[in-house]
């Protein structure tokens, strides 16, 4: 499989935890993989952001399950390129996750072979003000 992004990560986001699988160049020209689990509190998510930034991660694939991905997306969007991927599409990607971790998700961003779900832009302060004044 051709490597498109030198340092990338897959996140499997749940209600109480985020499993992250980071892939980066190894010491001998191979690819190294590191899996970590974080909580979903703000402090834990900020630890995740700092870990990814410290590793030089440029691309992250988030599995879009329910609404739990939203806080993670909001914290990461200013630091790296994000791919919000559909859980059903990830199952079809070669090398996909099958062990209950996020280990197959970097293949989603690394090979760019999964369909990227759409993510609406974050509302601006002016649109939020308009919504607040229009509703009441």
Give whole-number Cα distances, 135 to 22, 115, 122, 123, 129, in Å.
44, 36, 19, 16, 10
Supply the pLDDT for residue 64.
65
How far is Cα 59 from Cα 109, in angstroms, rounded to an integer?
7
Is 131 in a helix, a strand, or coil?
A: helix
10-residue block means of pLDDT along the chain (136 residues)?
82 94 88 94 97 96 85 94 81 55 50 48 48 43
Domain segments of the chain as ranges: 8-135
Supply the pLDDT for residue 27.
85
CATH class of 8-135: alpha beta
Supply the pLDDT for residue 66.
83
């Amino acid at each position: 499989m051709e490597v498109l992004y030198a340092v990338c990560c897959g996140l499997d986001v749940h209600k109480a935890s985020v499993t992250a699988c980071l892939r980066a160049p190894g010491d001998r020209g191979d690819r190294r993989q590191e899996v970590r689990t974080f909580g979903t509190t703000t402090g834990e998510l900020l630890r995740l952001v700092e870990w990814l930034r410290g590793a030089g991660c440029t691309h992250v694939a988030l599995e879009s399950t329910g609404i739990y991905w939203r806080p993670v997306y909001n914290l990461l969007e200013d630091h790296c390129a994000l791919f919000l991927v559909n859980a059903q599409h990830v199952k079809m990607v070669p090398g996909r996750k099958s062990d209950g971790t996020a280990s197959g998700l970097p293949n989603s961003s690394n090979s760019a072979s999964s369909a990227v779900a759409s993510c609406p832009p974050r509302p601006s302060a002016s649109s939020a003000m308009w919504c607040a004044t229009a509703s009441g």
